[in-house]
Structures are given as C-alpha cells and as structure tokens.
Structure 1
Amino acid sequence: MFYGVDYYPEHWPEDRWEIDAHLMEEAGINVVRLAEFAWAKLEPDEGLYDFSWLDKAISILSRHGIKVVLGTPTAAPPKWLIDKHPEILPVDEDGHVKGFGSRRHYCYNNPVYRQYTKKIVTAMAEHYESNPDVICWHIDNEFGCHDTTVCYCDNCMKEFKEWLKERYGTIDKLNESWGTVFWSQTYKDWDSVIIPRRAVTSHNPSLLLDYKRFSSDSVVKYQKVQIDILREITPDKKITHNFMGLFNQIDYYKLAKDLDFISWDNYPINHFSDSIDQISSSIALSHDVMRGVKKKNFWVMEQQSGPTGWEEMGRQLKPSEMRLWVYQSIAHGADAIVYFRWRACTFGTEEYWHGILDHDGIPRRRYNEVKQVGHELRKIGAMIEGSEVKAEVAIIRSFDNEWAFEIQPHKRGFRYMEQIKKYYKYFYSRNIPVDIISPEDDLSGYKLVLAPGLIMVNEKITDNIKNYVRDGGTFLTTWRAGAKRWDNRMNDQSLLGPLKELLGIDIEEYSVIPDDESIDVVFGDNKGTANTWYDVISPVTAKVLGEYKADYISGKAVITVNKYGRGNAYYVGTIPSDNIIKVLLDKVTGECGISVAGLKSNEGIEVLRRIKGADEFYFVLNFNRKPSTIIVNKQMVDILTGEYLNGEITLEPFEVRVLSNR
C-alpha cells in the first residue's frame, strides 16, 4: 500500500532535502507527489528546461525507498508565459479578464495555452520516460477549483459553437431544443449564437445547461491533450488527477474515463462542527462519490495533516483525529494515502496551510501520529491490499440534473446534493455501504437504487431504470422526477413523463412550500412534516403509503409504491422529515433484504467492511468525543494489535479498530 506526502523541495534549501527524506522514511512514507506547481522552476524561460534540481530530489528520495508521483505543472502558468501571451487568461461573465497573481489563470480552450501545455508535458515525459522512480503522472491540479471551470472568452465562444454543431447538427434543431421562439431569441445561423455572458435578466435555461456541459467537456478535452502525450511517451506509467469530492462543475464520470485511477483531496476539518452527522457522513459520502466515478478504489492525493487556511485558519487537529480520518479514507476504498503537505510553507498564499511539520521543520505530535499510521500500514497493508467495498445499495448522482437544479432551484436555497445527503445519511447511520453511481451505470447488481432529484431523463436512462425494476430491482425517486426533457425543457406530456408507467401515478398539481409554512404528513402511525415542495399525487396502479394532513391536500398521497414487472418503484412527492424517511427506508430495506454490518454500535461509530475473497475487514471508527461501545457478535481479531475480540468493546474518542473475520 502506498503511504505518502506532497512535497515541495523547491521551497527549501537543498541541504534540507536529505533530512526530509530521512524523516519520511522513518515515518513509513514510500511515495511523494512532486512538481505540480513548479513550472517556473522547470522552465525558467521559454524552451529553457532545468530538470537538474528535480532529478536530485528524486535521487535523494529514491535512496530512502520513496517513489514519485510527478505532477504536470499546468495549473500555474509562469509569469513569462502570461507576459508573452496574455490572451490565455480566462474571462468572467462580465467580460473582464482575470489577471495573473494566483493559480488556474488559463482558459482550457485557448489554442496557445494548449501548445505550451504540450511542450512542457512532452519535455517532462521524455526526460522521465525511463526513470523507474517515477511511477505515476498527476495531471494539473484540482481542475475547476476557484470557480475556473467556466470561461467566457472569444475562444470559448468559437469552441462552444463547434460543440453545438456537433450536438445538434442544424441551427433549426438547436432553436427547437432550446425553445428560442420565446422572447424572440431565435438564431438565424451559427454565427449569431451567444455564450451566456451577463444579461439583463436570466438566460434561457437550455442555453445555460448546454454551456455547463460544454465547459465540463472542455476540461475533459484539455486533460486528454496531456493524457495522449503521456500514454505515447511513457506507456508503463499510470495517470491520475486529484478530484474534489462533491465538487459539481465538471462531470466527474467523463473526467475519470481516461484516467487509470482517480485521486481526491480530503480536508474534513473544513466541514468540522460538533455535529457527528455533518462531519463524518459528509466525508463518507465524498469518498463514496469518488469510488463511484470509476467504480473502483481510489487514492487520496491530499489528506489533511494540519490546520488549513489562506487568509484565515482552521482549527488544530486533535490527537488521534488525523489517524481517524486516514482510516475512514481506507475503509471507503482508498488504496493510497498521501498527506498534504510535508511542511508548512513560510511564504505565499498558503502560509497558514499547515503540514505534517510546522514552518520550522521540527517533528512534533502530528509527525509522530503520521509515523504511527505508517508503521501500522506496513503491518496490515498486504492483508487489505486488493480488498473492496461491496454495496447492495446505490444512489444515482447525475451532474446534468444537478446543473439543472443549480440553474433553476425551484426554491431559494435548495441544493440537489442536500437531498442526496438526506437519503445517504440513513444508510450511513446504519453502517450500510452505498455506491454513488451514474444514471447510465449497470444497476443489476444492486438490491436498491435511489435517484433523488431526477428531474431530467433521456431514453437511455429511462430504459436502464425500467429494465432494472422489471427484472426485480427496487427503485426510489422523488418529486419532479421526469418533469423535463434532457435539453432542460419541460415535458409537454403529463408530469413524470417517460417515468409515469413505471411509477404508476399522476401528479394533479404541485407547489413550493414557503419557509413559514408547515405541512404535516403521515406514514402509517408515524407523523412527520414536509418541506420545500409538494406534489399532489393521484395513484393509477400504485399503492398509497403516506398522506398529507393539511389544508386542501389533506388525505392526498405523498408517498407511493408501484409494482412494475418483478420489482417495485417508490415515489416521494416532497422532502419529508428524517423520521418519515427512516420509516420508509426501514420498510424498503427490509423488503429488499439489505444486509448490515455484523457489528452493533453506538451512534457516532462508523463500521465499514472491505472484502477480499473470503476475508472480511471491518473498519470501526469512533467519531464521538467520548468513549463508545460496539458489540462483536463473533470472535474477530484486531489486525492492528493482534488482540482477539468478542462481545462488548469500548472505544476511546477517535479510536480505530480494524477487525478481521479470521
């Protein structure tokens, strides 16, 4: 198993590099990421390459048994390049050029920048082609961070029109799809098509959705420029990029497709509060989203190792807390942990973004905790290597649908992802593993599939879901499902559109629920409330499970289930209170025969299982700030300590156990 750190030797005197490498080796570090922001050091002037310093750093690390993930430095174009070609800078929706002085200051569609990208990537690939210590390429850094996915420059205008031509073929088809007859927005030809720079009021929602799709595809296309070079010159080296969890400006399913594996940057302390659910469940969901983009294990390329901060600082990591987050990462499918960063920098924007070592480079408590984990992973790494998370439940995350709700949230403050979190929390609190998947993924291996917020569907997605339910699967979706076409236009057929037969209901009418109003709902003997939205449901072939108990909709259906083929399709016409979701999902999971972890635990203890053949590994993580208990219902061994366990076990705050069935 790889256990590493992000290292920036260019920030420190060369006589320090040997000291750092020795300390890394002592801590069990066997891999580092290098050079992802070092373009100005690697190419101080156009065509003048200097790899000597990087060669020396790699050589020193190699002597201490440390391999290298090498970053392409394209996330931070150097000043000399901006001075020569200021046209590569991105443009905001007001037409203002974003200047030099930070990072990610380039447009993905700029042809000049693509040429310079090819040059630096080619030079690096040719120089390190035969270096056995470089085992992997890391492309760029955090595509889209700082809201840099979308650009509104003239190059993007040109590329967007070409993208639209390929998508629609003719201008008449585009006009029909977007409904441009509204407000006299009809385009006579391709030259007249606009990009959504700031207008008097809202742009056409179909235009906005397509521009989000185009901007995402532009990132994927730019990444492919680098991948093609690296594949040709260094075919034996793996390629990755560091994703950002729940980030939604890029379709991660598409971005992941050309990579060997994905990595992501995990900073749980940024989400920290006293609420267990808000911290650990949110990070768990992020891990599962990352595992789902390729449906395989992943790396954490930046695992938090200290207080974060640019202008302001986050809080300190408490003793054993860093270790806890590391093991949560592994539990959810991380095959490598790489900390950010080795040592806090004494200059630049990230002076307050701490690492394993503070600014003075002296090993202290956090280093000792990293060292503890390093020694533990040397002990158990071979055992858990090759193991995977196996889930019987899947939640569909659709970037297109998330973008549609981002454009038109229906109600101020509503977020697509918040509804996914609400359902995910049920499974998390019961230690039921979940895969987060694309709506086009194969559903046949799951007992239960949920798709909150599936407002847009196309024929492929519809057929995928229908076939799954017809063959015996259980499906649950929520309000507004099927209400729109894939081009973000409303369906002109009855609501639910192509999902109507599957769900067996009609929607009589609907409305938002104002913040100052409350609607009561009942599910059997259970009383709860509804918020945000309500559908007034008329069952056709479906059975009513829950009803409203308020105003003129009292007695109308709010939750239904429909038999379809050999399976069942559930519909929830609102956002119910947590107690109603609990009762509903208790019923659904019980009928599906969803299995839970073979350990009973207090609230705040996460238990997740990784499987390798007949071997099972249970990661037991106490996120409580107090001692908490689990009940082990058969004898297991803690592979961290060698201790055999059975019955009730007490875990200290932030304690971790890794149990094996044999």
Structure 2
Amino acid sequence: MQIYGADYYPEHWDESVWERHVKTMKEIGVEWVRVGEFSWSIVEPEEGRFDFSKLEKPLKILKDAGIKIIVGTPTAAPPLWLVKKHPHILPVDRFGRRKGAGSRRHYCPANEVYREYSRKIVEKYAQHLSTYADMWQIDNEFGCHDTTLCYCESTRKAFIEWLKRRYVSIDELNYRWGNRFWSQTVSDWDEIVLPINTPAFENPHMMLDFFRFSTDVHIDYMNMQSEIIRKYSDKPITHNFMVDFFDLDYKKLAEYIDLVSWDNYVSTKVYDPFRQAANHDLMRSLKRKPFLVMEQQPGRVNWKTINEQYPGGYLKLWTKQAHLHGALGVIVFRFDQIRWGAEQFHGALLDYAGKRTDRCEEFAQAKRETQGVMVPEKEVAIYFSYENAWIHRINHLNRNFNYWESIMSIYRAVRRLGYNVDFVFEDDEVDSYRLLIVPYAMYLPEKFIEKLESFQANVLITCMTSIKDEYNWMRADFPYGLQRLLGLEIVDFAGTEKVDMNVSGLQLSGNFWCDKIKVKDAEVLGSFKTGPFAEMPCVTRRGNKYYVATVADEFFYTFLLGSLLPAKFIGDGVDAIQTREGLILLNVRDHESAVWMSNKKIVLGAFENREV
C-alpha cells in the first residue's frame, strides 16, 4: 500500500467548491486526504447540538471519487464554549500560569472533565464518519507548543496515583527520589507537589518520573479514543509525531498505534538532508515497519522567525527522500492555501485564489517516481532512548550538551560513509548489524548490557554511558556493567569546552565532557592533549569494543568509523540507502553532485536518484 495525498479542510470552504477541489485532486494524483482534526466547533457549535453536514457531504464526494480518507479526531482544539464552561481544562505551565484558549492544544490530558467531553465527541465522530474512514488519526501532535508537561491540580492528582502504582509505599518513594536531600521527605501522598516555579534545581528523580508519567498520560488518553473508534471501525489508527521532538517517549507511544506517522518539516534555518533523513530513520525504527509522512512541508511554512520559500524541486526531493528511507508515502500539508487564520502564510498545493501552483506538478512527478516501498538493509545500529534525552535535559555537567545533536554528529559520519542507520531500543534485536554504536546513554538497561556482551561485530561506546540507574541515581562505579567488556574504568569526569586529542597521529577535538580513564586491559588509540585530563587516554580498544571518552564531532567519527567500515563512495551532497537490489543515491542539492565509486565518477543531476 502506498499513500499519496494532502491535508484537506472542507469545513473552511463553501460547499460550492468541494466538487471542484475533488476534481483537482484527481487530476494531480491526490489519492488520500486527511480531514477533521480541527473541526470540533464546526460539528458541535454548542454543547449537545451536532451537525456533521460540513464533513459528511464533502466526505461523500471524496469517497465517490475514489479518494481514501484519514479522519482525525478533533480533540487537539476544544471549542470555546467548553473552555468557558470548564476553564480548568486549560493546562498550567511550569510557572503556575494557566494557559489561554484561542489557538490549539489548550487542554490537559489528565483532566477528567475534558476526557469525558473527549469521549463524547470521539464517539460521535466514530458513529458518523466510520463509513468514510480508511484510517484514523488520534488528536494532533501531542506535546506541540510545549504542552507535554502540565502542572495543574488534575495532573498532580493523576501523578500521585501513578506514583502509588510505581512505588507502593511512601518510604520507597522517599528513598528512590533521594528526598532526604534539601528536606524533601514526604509523609503522605498528598504532600507531593509538582515542581512549579522552584527557586533552584528540581528534584532530578522526580522530574524523570514526571516525564515518564506524562508519556503514560498521553498514551492513556490516546488509548481511550482508540477503544471508542475500534467499536465502530477496523481501520488502522495512527498519531502524527513531530520532527526533532523528544518530550514524549515515541517508542512507547508507537506500541499502541497501528502505523507510525510523522510531520516532516524543516526544523533548522535551512534544509539539512541528514537531519530529515535521521528523523525518517527514527520513525521507521519505532516499529521496524514502513511509516507515513502525515504532513509534508510543501515549500514555505508560517511558524519560523523567517519563513523562506524553497524553490521548485524541493517538494519532489523531500517526497523522494521519505520514500528512500522507507515511507509508505506522503500527505502534503496542505491542499488549499487559506487566506485567514494563524496559518495564512503557510504554503499549499493550491494558491490563495484556488489555482494550482507548480508544486502540484512536483507532487505528481514525485508520486510517479516513487513506486513501491523501500526496505533499507540492516547495516549500522545506533542505540537511542527517550529516557536518556530526558535525563540529559534534567541535570548535567555541561548544560550546553544536547543529546540528539551529539548523536547527529555520529549519524552524519555513518551516512557519509554510505551506510544505513537504524535506531535501536533496549528490546530490539541487534545481532544482524555490522556495527553497534551506544552514544551518551547515561542510563543503559541491564538487558542491553547483556546484548553488548554477546554482540560479535564492532561496538563503539562513548562517554556518559551507563553512569546512572533507572531512578536517575549515579552509579557507584563507571561505566556500570561495561568495565570488563571495555577493559577500563572511569575514575573521574568533567564538563569542559573544547579539548584537543591525538588519535593515531591525527589532531582531533572533543567538547562538552571528558572522562578520566584508568586502562586495565585495553589498547590506547589516542590521548587528550589539552583539558583537565591532558596526556591521558581518550580513545581505547579492547578486541572489537571501542571507547571514546569525550563528545567528538562529525570529522572525528568519519575518521574513526572509516577505519571500521570502508567508505562506499567519496563525495558529498548525496543521501544513500542500501537495499537488497543495490545502493541508491539521491542528490539532495538543486545542482549537480558527483561521487566516486570504485574509481568511477558518478554525476547526479539536481535532485536525481539513481541505483548504482
């Protein structure tokens, strides 16, 4: 199954244009549409009065034309009559301020009143729209606009119940949270408060649990909706994840949906092909299955400081890149450019006058050129953990360090060498990979340590790995469970700025953190030249297990990993994916790129892809 289409909002338009819109969709190759995810106040303009005509009529036109439909539940934007009647459904931020209505994501998922209204509206949507639905999307972009963590009273009470299930006794909670520190000991569950506007650092053990709880609350809220839908429909259910987003544990959420989908937007100032590729690979890795791009940036967006336009060809490129990394297809956001509302500057397939833009032909071309579903071969695995993203954010030796950005340096190096990347999690099988990399995993579960012990190919482990336990306590010895494997122990560490290294005669650099290593049974491959541990080891090897004692950059990892994996090509400006059929190169530039393979020069035209 392939899915190519656009996000469509028929409720924004007079019904006189619906048939014209559908005719255009058919002409440009739109086969799927997503509808409905922000339509609550249209369907229920006042409590208890429902009118589905603004959805059912256009959905019938779409269905009669053979266009498949993804129906979104509308709970991401509760109507203002509901907010007026129950203002306490609004979320509270970390400073104790109640957030306002008038935009979207203005609700707390732990609030029981809001959950009851959500049950009612989702049931109505399921009853009325199951006939039309070929897929369902629950809500929209959980956690967007800094809404993952809510600090309201409903959340506090739900958090306490979650903690009772986790710890059972107050004594156990006090111990695991280290509550003797700063006089935080509690004697009753109701004494537990959320860390609102604290004068100093929050309790790091509590904060890790608060992130875990917040993921579980969103899963529970999502499952509540899914259970209702499944009473009326057997169609697949998804939720749209986001780019570079780590506030929620997407791996855990993915267990409860049938299909991973995500919204592919350029999150940096300019398009970074490796960043978009990494997000594709992460989404594919969540379920080890093909994924869907639920929202594909068409060109210009509306939410950046400067919303630049991408010239012709980029929509086609982004579609081809998604396909290359294992996507079922893309849904372009959006079909029709709107003249009003907060997203009026956002691009679309149709312009403000309802006329086709050049992106319509790009979309059609991309669809023709991306047949079938690509299955990237297993080559290199990078261990990833959303909990580690939280641990790094909560408390750190160097607050300039960023977990994902530092992993990106390793990812780029692997990809420049021409190898596929899967992100692996603690329960995943790893034995079929040629190289396993474990970067900056402060908490490394015992079960994954066991996998490292039996892994036969090369392993690369970095600083910060296995120095904490599941409660965010420091281990007593470092790296926990890995000392024999690596032939070393870490006796100290420091936050730092740039440090220089000499590795195999090459002058390289690290940053953010460095370890003081005591070598026991390992070969020293490099030493620090500057920093607090100058002249001490920075890179070691014991058999097939390598250790890097700092946060190194892309150049370092290209050099080191290049000694473990021979480069498949030499050159720049391409995204490469290895399949069973061969190596596919995609030129990610709007001009020619050249690479060398086996002493042969290969020239790719702008945005061209080719199997070599």
**TM-score w.r.t. structure 2 length?**
0.96
- In structure 2, stretches of 5+ residues that fail to align are none
1:32 Cα deviation after fit: 0.2
Shift in CA distance, 630/582, structure 1 to aligned 2, threshold 3 Å? closer
Alignment correspondent of 1:431: 418
Alignment correspondent of 1:462: 446
C-alpha contact 2:486 2:542 (8 A) present in aligned 1? yes
Equivalent position SS for 2:513: strand
Distance 2:592 2:94 in 1: 52
Distance 1:631 1:586 in 2: 16
Alignment correspondent of 1:153: 152
Equivalent position SS for 2:259: coil
Picking from 459, 463, 474, the partner of 1:479 is 463
Distance 2:406 2:304 in 1: 32
Alignment correspondent of 2:290: 297
1:189 Cα deviation after fit: 1.9
Residues 221-273 of structure 1: per-residue CA shift (max 9 Å, x gap): 11111111112221x211011101320110001111110111100012x4243
Residues 486-517 of structure 1: per-residue CA shift (max 9 Å, x gap): 111112x2221233222221113221224xxx
Alignment correspondent of 1:227: 226
Picking from 594, 607, 613, the partner of 2:576 is 607
Alignment of 1:357-372 (within 5 A): 357-372=350-365
Equivalent position SS for 1:241: strand
Picking from 550, 564, 569, the partner of 2:530 is 550
C-alpha contact 1:444 1:468 (8 A) present in aligned 2? no
Alignment correspondent of 1:176: 175
C-alpha contact 1:479 1:534 (8 A) present in aligned 2? yes
Q: Which moved more, 1:60-69 or 1:238-247?
A: 60-69
Shift in CA distance, 214/510, structure 1 to aligned 2, threshold 3 Å? same
Amino acid at match of 1:505: L
C-alpha contact 1:246 1:289 (8 A) present in aligned 2? no
Picking from 528, 541, 546, the partner of 1:570 is 546
Alignment of 1:611-626 (within 5 A): 611=580, 616=581, 618-626=583-591
Residues 65-114 of structure 1: per-residue CA shift (max 9 Å, x gap): 21100000000001111112111111112222111111000001000111
Shift in CA distance, 414/633, structure 1 to aligned 2, threshold 3 Å? closer
Distance 1:535 1:450 in 2: 18
1:658 Cα deviation after fit: 4.5
Alignment correspondent of 1:198: 197
Distance 1:308 1:142 in 2: 17
Residues 535-557 of structure 1: per-residue CA shift (max 9 Å, x gap): 11111122212111237734311
Distance 2:333 2:597 in 1: 35
Residues 464-497 of structure 1: per-residue CA shift (max 9 Å, x gap): 3333432414322211212111111112x22212
Shift in CA distance, 17/312, structure 1 to aligned 2, threshold 3 Å? farther
Alignment correspondent of 1:279: 272
Amino acid at match of 2:557: I
Amino acid at match of 1:483: I
C-alpha contact 2:400 2:512 (8 A) present in aligned 1? no
Distance 1:603 1:312 in 2: 29
Shift in CA distance, 172/241, structure 1 to aligned 2, threshold 3 Å? same
Distance 2:440 2:455 in 1: 23
Distance 1:561 1:533 in 2: 20
Distance 2:40 2:78 in 1: 7
Alignment correspondent of 1:640: none
Equivalent position SS for 1:629: strand
Equivalent position SS for 1:233: coil
**TM-score w.r.t. structure 1 length?**
0.89
Distance 1:337 1:286 in 2: 14
Distance 1:34 1:519 in 2: 52
Distance 1:495 1:633 in 2: 43
Equivalent position SS for 2:481: helix
Shift in CA distance, 578/68, structure 1 to aligned 2, threshold 3 Å? closer
1:622 Cα deviation after fit: 1.4
1:311 Cα deviation after fit: 7.8
Distance 2:464 2:532 in 1: 21
Distance 1:290 1:245 in 2: 10
Picking from 241, 260, 263, the partner of 2:261 is 263
Equivalent position SS for 2:279: helix
Distance 1:648 1:311 in 2: 39
1:607 Cα deviation after fit: 1.9
Amino acid at match of 1:522: N
Residues 317-348 of structure 1: per-residue CA shift (max 9 Å, x gap): 21111101110011011102100001111111
C-alpha contact 2:72 2:137 (8 A) present in aligned 1? yes
Distance 1:396 1:305 in 2: 32
Picking from 602, 608, 611, the partner of 1:656 is 608
Equivalent position SS for 1:324: helix
C-alpha contact 2:109 2:217 (8 A) present in aligned 1? yes
Distance 1:229 1:445 in 2: 40
Amino acid at match of 1:264: W
Shift in CA distance, 306/541, structure 1 to aligned 2, threshold 3 Å? same
Amino acid at match of 2:251: Y
C-alpha contact 2:397 2:494 (8 A) present in aligned 1? no
Shift in CA distance, 300/552, structure 1 to aligned 2, threshold 3 Å? closer
Equivalent position SS for 2:226: helix
Amino acid at match of 2:153: D
Distance 1:551 1:346 in 2: 56
Q: Which moved more, 1:189-198 or 1:321-330?
A: 189-198
C-alpha contact 1:462 1:499 (8 A) present in aligned 2? no
Alignment correspondent of 1:528: 508
Distance 1:81 1:118 in 2: 14
Q: Which moved more, 1:238-247 or 1:524-533?
A: 524-533
Identity of aligned residues (%): 38
Amino acid at match of 1:558: C
1:630 Cα deviation after fit: 4.6
Equivalent position SS for 2:557: helix
Residues 179-216 of structure 1: per-residue CA shift (max 9 Å, x gap): 11111111112121121111121111111111111112
Equivalent position SS for 1:370: helix
Distance 1:306 1:530 in 2: 36
Shift in CA distance, 307/156, structure 1 to aligned 2, threshold 3 Å? same
* Aligned positions, number: 611
Equivalent position SS for 1:335: strand
Shift in CA distance, 337/578, structure 1 to aligned 2, threshold 3 Å? closer
Shift in CA distance, 430/400, structure 1 to aligned 2, threshold 3 Å? same
Distance 1:464 1:557 in 2: 26
Q: Which moved more, 1:349-358 or 1:102-111?
A: 349-358
Alignment correspondent of 2:439: 452
C-alpha contact 2:517 2:537 (8 A) present in aligned 1? yes
Distance 1:55 1:408 in 2: 50
Amino acid at match of 2:386: F
Picking from 385, 389, 393, the partner of 1:406 is 393
C-alpha contact 1:506 1:537 (8 A) present in aligned 2? yes
Residues 341-382 of structure 1: per-residue CA shift (max 9 Å, x gap): 0111111110111111121111132222223223x15xx52x
